[in-house]
Homo-oligomer: A and B are copies of this chain.
Amino acid sequence: MGAEDWATLLRELDQKVTPARCAVLEVVASTDAHLSADEIVSRVADLVPDVHRATVFRTLERLVELGLVAHVHLPHGATTYHLRQPGERMHLHVLCRACGDVFDVDPALLDDVADALASSLGFRLAADHAALSGVCAVCASGSAGDVDVEREL
């Protein structure tokens, strides 16, 4: 999507079109990765200088409200943001506590868990909203003795 399209999209949602907003959308849309607010701030700076951190936070909050962006809380460290694909089902996230990588996982994986929680506790699970933690294949084999792995993320 080009810059013009973000403007159109925002207008359709009755939002004001500003350089900061377009830049944030552009940045978030530019990658499949999960970006922290900090990373977004610095990437936005490459597109539009002098966009303030606070503005990025406020903009992200707004975009989440509008359903354009999703955020995931990681067990350690900053919240990450990524574009939310319209029809697509929200995926679930697992974080490697050794290397910090986030892996996207099939949301169906937690369906049984969600059902079990719903029937036993009446609890409605939002599987996409928080990441689970563990150790990825690379880190598990790499540092055979699990030295750094216990480093607590």
Q: Fill in one digit per residue for A99-134: 1 if any B CB lies within 8 Å of its CB, else 0.
A: 000010100011011001100011111110111111
Q: How many copies does the complex hold?
A: 2
Flag the segment in A7-15, A18-26, A135-143 that touches B. Answer: A135-143
Specify the main secondary structure of chain A where it touches its partner. mixed
Question: Quick check: A125 and B129 within 8 Å, CB to CB?
Answer: no
Q: Chain A interface (Cβ within 8 Å of chain B)?
A: 64, 73, 75-76, 94-97, 103, 105, 109-110, 112-113, 116-117, 121-127, 129-137, 140-141, 152
Are the CB atoms of A123 and B94 closer together than 8 Å? yes
CB of B117 within 8 A of CB of A140, answer no
> Which residue of the partner chain, among B73, B110, B130, B135, contacts A113 with CB atoms under 8 Å?
B110
CB distance from A74 to the nearest CB of B (A): 8
